[in-house]
Structure 1
Amino acid sequence: MTRDETDARFSVFAAEAIVRLRPLAHATARDAHRADDLVQTTLEKMYAAWPRIERTASDPMAYARTVLVRSLISERRRLSWSREVLVDAGFSSANLAAERAPDHGEAVSARLALHEALRRLPPRQRMAVVLRHLEDLSVEEVSRLMNCSPGTVKSATNAGVRALRSLLADDVLNGDDVLNGDDVMNGVDR
């Protein structure tokens, strides 16, 4: 098989993968630019190993998800090791989304509130909640991706969902008219 044929097959995969990887990266990275960089890094790593992945991986998308999660974990370790601090310049995804589409109604407001609440979770809880509930992966799959025990996944997911419900309930009590935590976590739109 020629390199051009391999590149063409990878291009088809990458076009589909970007659509599926971006939401996962945005939900876990807390920053749209970092998330896009993370997707790019994932695709670069996969391109370098594509002939082997194509031969051996039964599900290249699952492989891509694993690369993305492990790249994010590795990045966080590097940042904490070097003591780099990411500075939030006041540009939250909620602010940017509000500037782009201010009149989209209650569903958008609920999604923004959920995204902001996810952003406020600790990294391990956020990753467990996103992988379990947004990516709909099993406890075992999340355990493998996060390189931890199934019990850790369950406790991190439980703590994350409880924290989300609390954060979303606080938004409602503070006058933000969004869906309550139960509605958002169960995917119910009013």
Structure 2
Amino acid sequence: MDMKLIAGNSAGTVTTLYLSSDQSTGTHDEIDFEFLGNVSNQPYTLHTNVFSQGKGNREQQFHLWFDPTANFHTYSVVWNPRLIMFLVDETPIRVFRNHEKYGVAFPKNQPMRIYSSLWNADNWATQGGSVKTDWTKAPFTAYYRKFNIDACDGPNRASLSCSTRGTWRTHDLDANGRKRIRYIQKNFMVYDYCEDWKRFSQGYPPECKQPRF
């Protein structure tokens, strides 16, 4: 999906693009792009998360290396049995691997739909909730275009675009991709749940102990 975010004072707002299964079950799966607004001239925070079997708490956050309000940029997810990969303008920024053999639930059995939303979350979104939404700046407008899905599994796959049929199941980072993701995470990541000892003082989640790229 190509997106252009709210310009100016966007504090308190959250603009999203995400995949989710049925949330009424209590054991839903979810893959999140959430863009946390900020006061004018301060960077957006790109908040990513993965839920599996109703369990989330796997946040990684980034400041982007461009102004996401000036032009459209492309935000993508690769989701296959091996991994979930988040990409910005085809640059990988995060990988969540399938570590089921270590007891980590991985989204693979529940079909997910694609959603977008724009909502008020000024109790937490901007600087921990200390900056509230300035409603005199409304309306807040985000733009979406050029949605594309390449889905090559399931009962209706014959009717979908499957240009990568046969390769999507094994799609992974190559050497260049690993180099790029290391650079992004070193220079633009601002929060990683796998480094939050205060939050996980009883021990990090098991996937944090495994290779991540």
Output the TM-score relative to the length of structure 2: 0.26
Structure number with greater CO (CA < 8 Å, separation at least 6) is: 2
Output the TM-score relative to the length of structure 1: 0.28
Structure in which a larger fraction of residues adopt strand: 2
